[in-house]
C-alpha cells in the first residue's frame, strides 16, 4: 500500500461522490438525463468547469453560487469527502479483490440514497431496483454460506419492517422497507440483525441530539435512510468482529 495509491483513490472518491450527489438529487425528479450539464439549483445557470471541482469549488466560492450568490448546500462537499474517505478506507481494509468491488457497489448505492432521503424524504425505487439487479448478480458469483441465507435474511427483513410499519402507523416508510429487505438479501440473517440494531441505535442517538439542538418534539420526522446506509457500511467493515465480540461476551 502506497501513499500515491491512497491519494488516487481519494481523488476518484471525490469525483464519484460529486456524481453520486447528482444522482441522488435528480433521480427522484426524473431529471438525471434531461440536462447533461450541471446547473445552479436556484438560478439554473449552467456551471463552468471551475465550479465543478469537488470540495475545492465549494471552498473557493465560499459556499455560494458565483452568479446569484445563493447558498450551496453543505451536502455537496460532505458527500464528496465521505465518498473519498470510504474509497480509501475500503482499500485499506480489503485491498483489490471481490470485497473491494462489493464495497464500491454499496457506496455507490448508499450515497445517492442518503442524499435523496435527506433532501426529498424519499428512497427512489429506481435506485433500489438498479442496485438490486447488481447485487443479485453479485450473489450469483459470490453466494453467502449457506446460499439460502440471502433469502432468509430478505424474508425476515421484509416481515419485520412491515410489522413495524403497521404497528407504528407510519414510523417507517415503504422505501425503508425495500432498503432493509435488499440489505437482508445482501448480508443474510445474522448480519441483517446487527444492521437493524445499529440503524435503530444510530437513529435514536441522532434523534435525541437533533431534537435537543433544534428543540423539536418527538413527532419530528427525520429521514432514516442515512442510518440504514451507515449501518450497512458498519456491518461490512466490522460486522464479523462485532458478532464475534457479542458471542464471546454473552455465550
Query: Tell me, what's the pLDDT at 220?
Result: 60
How many C-alpha atoms does 230 have within 13 Å on its Cβ side?
Answer: 17
Query: Tell me, what's the pLDDT at 209?
Result: 82
Domain boundary among 87, 121, 155: 121
The answer to whether residues 166 and 114 belong to one domain is no
- Total number of domains in the chain: 2
Task: Tell me the average pLDDT across 143-163.
Answer: 95
The answer to whether residues 115 and 163 belong to one domain is no
Q: Distance (Å, rounded) from C-alpha 109 to C-alpha 30?
A: 17
Confidence of residue 214 (pLDDT cuts 50, 70, 90): low
Q: Does 200 have pLDDT greater than 90? A: yes
Look at residues 190, 176, 191, 173 and name the one whose alpha carbon lies nearest to residue 232. Answer: 191
Confidence of residue 216 (pLDDT cuts 50, 70, 90): low
Q: Does 109 have pLDDT greater than 60? A: yes
> Taking a C-beta distance cutoff of 8 angstroms, is the pair 16, 24 a contact?
no
Domain boundary among 121, 151, 170: 121
The answer to whether residues 3 and 110 belong to one domain is yes
Q: Does 31 have pLDDT greater than 80? A: no
Mean pLDDT of the chain: 89
221 or 244: which carries more pLDDT confidence? 244
Task: Tell me the average pLDDT across 79-98.
Answer: 95
Residue 15 lies in a domain: yes
Residue 138 lies in a domain: no
Q: Does 1 have pLDDT greater than 70? A: no
Residue 132 lies in a domain: no
The answer to whether residues 158 and 234 belong to one domain is yes
The answer to whether residues 95 and 165 belong to one domain is no
Q: What is the pTM of this model?
A: 0.92
Task: Tell me the average pLDDT across 159-163.
Answer: 95
Q: Does 29 have pLDDT greater than 80? A: yes
For 137, phi then psi, to 5°, come to -65, -40
Three-state DSSP class for 121? coil
Task: Tell me the average pLDDT across 213-223.
Answer: 65
Task: Tell me the average pLDDT across 111-120.
Answer: 95
In which element (H, E) is residue 208 found?
helix 189-214
The answer to whether residues 155 and 97 belong to one domain is no
Domain boundary among 121, 152, 177: 121
Query: Tell me, what's the pLDDT at 11?
Result: 96
Residue 74 lies in a domain: yes
Segments forming the whole domain that contains residue 251: 143-251
Q: What is the DSSP letter of 217?
A: -
Query: Tell me, what's the pLDDT at 134?
Result: 96
The answer to whether residues 111 and 165 belong to one domain is no
Q: What is the DSSP letter of 49?
A: G
Q: Distance (Å, rounded) from C-alpha 127 to C-alpha 225?
A: 13
DSSP 130-190: HHHHHHHHHHHHS--SSTTHHHHHHHHHHHHHHHHHHHHTSSS-HHHHHHHHHHHHHH-HH
Amino acid at each position: 500500500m502506497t501513499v500515491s495509491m491512497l491519494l488516487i483513490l481519494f481523488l476518484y472518491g471525490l469525483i464519484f461522490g460529486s456524481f453520486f450527489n447528482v444522482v441522488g438529487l435528480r433521480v427522484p425528479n426524473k431529471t438525471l438525463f434531461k440536462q447533461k450539464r450541471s446547473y445552479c439549483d436556484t438560478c439554473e445557470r449552467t456551471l463552468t468547469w471551475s465550479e465543478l471541482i469537488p470540495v475545492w469549488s465549494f471552498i473557493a466560492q465560499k459556499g455560494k453560487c458565483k452568479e446569484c450568490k445563493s447558498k450551496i448546500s453543505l451536502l455537496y462537499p460532505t458527500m464528496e469527502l465521505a465518498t473519498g474517505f470510504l474509497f480509501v478506507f475500503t482499500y485499506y481494509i480489503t485491498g483489490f479483490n471481490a470485497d473491494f468491488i462489493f464495497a464500491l457497489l454499496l457506496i455507490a448505492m448508499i450515497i445517492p440514497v442518503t442524499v435523496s432521503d435527506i433532501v426529498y424524504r424519499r428512497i427512489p425505487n429506481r435506485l433500489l431496483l438498479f442496485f438490486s439487479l447488481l447485487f443479485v448478480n453479485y450473489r450469483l458469483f459470490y453466494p453467502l454460506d449457506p446460499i439460502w441465507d440471502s433469502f432468509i435474511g430478505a424474508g425476515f427483513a421484509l416481515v419485520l419492517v412491515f410489522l413495524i410499519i403497521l404497528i407504528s402507523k407510519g414510523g417507517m416508510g415503504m422505501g425503508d422497507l425495500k432498503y432493509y429487505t435488499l440489505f437482508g438479501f445482501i448480508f443474510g440473517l445474522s448480519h441483517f440483525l446487527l444492521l437493524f440494531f445499529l440503524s435503530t441505535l444510530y437513529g435514536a442517538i441522532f434523534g435525541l441530539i437533533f431534537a435537543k439542538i433544534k428543540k423539536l418534539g418527538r413527532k419530528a420526522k427525520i429521514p432514516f435512510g442515512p442510518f440504514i446506509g451507515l449501518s450497512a457500511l458498519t456491518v461490512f467493515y466490522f460486522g464479523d468482529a462485532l458478532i464475534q465480540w457479542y458471542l464471546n461476551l454473552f455465550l
